[in-house]
Amino acid sequence: MNMRKKLFALQVSVFLLFIALWKLVIIIFKFPEFILPSPETVFLEWILELKDGMLLKHTWVTLYETLAGFAIGALLGLIPGYFVAKSRTAEQTLSPYLVAAQTAPKIALAPLIVIWFGFGVLSKIVIVALIVFFPILVNTIVGIRSIDKNLIDLMKILKASRLQVFTKVELPSSLPVLFAGFKTGITLAVIGAVVGEFVGANAGLGYLTIYAAGLMDTPKVFAAILQLTLLGILLYLAIDFIESIAIPWHREK
């Protein structure tokens, strides 16, 4: 418990130091509000936007795009990843195409996706799913292949079915690596949603950022960025909490 308190105190100290440096830069260089607003101005703008309800409205849109795209991308990564991990032939056949799909810049494809799927949430979900897909796929392959072969051989000796091997050995053993992929994926999902909203949207935190920047309303831009940061942190912590429930033995180690 003392270690946790020290860690929390250190985290708070780093945050306060960041705020102090931010304020110091403004004082030294005398930046006007439309260039670099003060921390208190940004915080007040964030509170006002929350009370107005506009910030929450755009947050819900980005959250929906993020979660829907993450779920689809994770599913698309988990299923092929499992079969690729179990078959060297499948890996050798599909690897060039999977790598090509990953190396294709998603930001460059974003305008095309918006043209194909429209300015609504569907295009953002597609972009998020494409960005999330590869990290989950790779972690699934690594997770399945990191399983102790002796455990698999033991299950075969016990004449366990394929389903029993999967539920009793493969899934529990690969969960630590899978959750590492989920944590990476959820942060990338937020970025993907914002990229899609930058390219073309009529709602969402990314849209709000671009809209406020067009009006030279820098405090509102910072308030939207603050909300995006908090959203990403909360989603990451949610995955971390689920991990602590699903694999408590790994967390203890």
The 10s digit of each residue's pLDDT in 223-248 is 999 999 999 999 999 999 999 998 88
Q: Which residue has the higher pLDDT, 177 or 92?
A: 177
Q: Return the half-sphere exposure (C-beta side, CA atoms, 13 A cut-off) of residue 166.
A: 8
CA angle 49, 226, 58 (to 5 degrees): 50
d(CA 146, CA 140): 10
Is residue 64 a contact partner of residue 201, using CB atoms and an 8 Å limit? no
As given in the structure block, the two tokens for residue 138 are 């790779």
Q: Which residue has the tokens 């990564």?
A: 77
Q: Which of 54-63, 102-111, 132-141, 217-226 bottoms out in mean pLDDT, i.e. has the lowest?
A: 102-111
Cβ burial, residue 204 (10 Å; 0-12/13-18/19+): buried
- With cut-offs at 50, 70 and 90, classify the pLDDT of residue 168: confident
For the whole model, what pTM was predicted? 0.88
Other CB atoms within 10 A of residue 59 CB: 20
Other CB atoms within 10 A of residue 250 CB: 13
- Reduce the DSSP state of residue 215 to 3 states and report it: coil
- With cut-offs at 50, 70 and 90, classify the pLDDT of residue 73: very high
> What is the crossing angle of helices 171-199 and 121-145, to 10°?
150
Q: What pLDDT, on the 0 to 100 scale, is given for residue 239?
A: 95
Q: What pLDDT, on the 0 to 100 scale, is given for residue 103?
A: 76
The 10s digit of each residue's pLDDT in 88-111 is 887 788 778 777 777 777 777 888
Q: Which residue has the higher pLDDT, 159 or 84?
A: 84
Q: How many residues does the chain have?
A: 253
- Taking 60 as the threshold, does the pLDDT of residue 1 lie above it? no
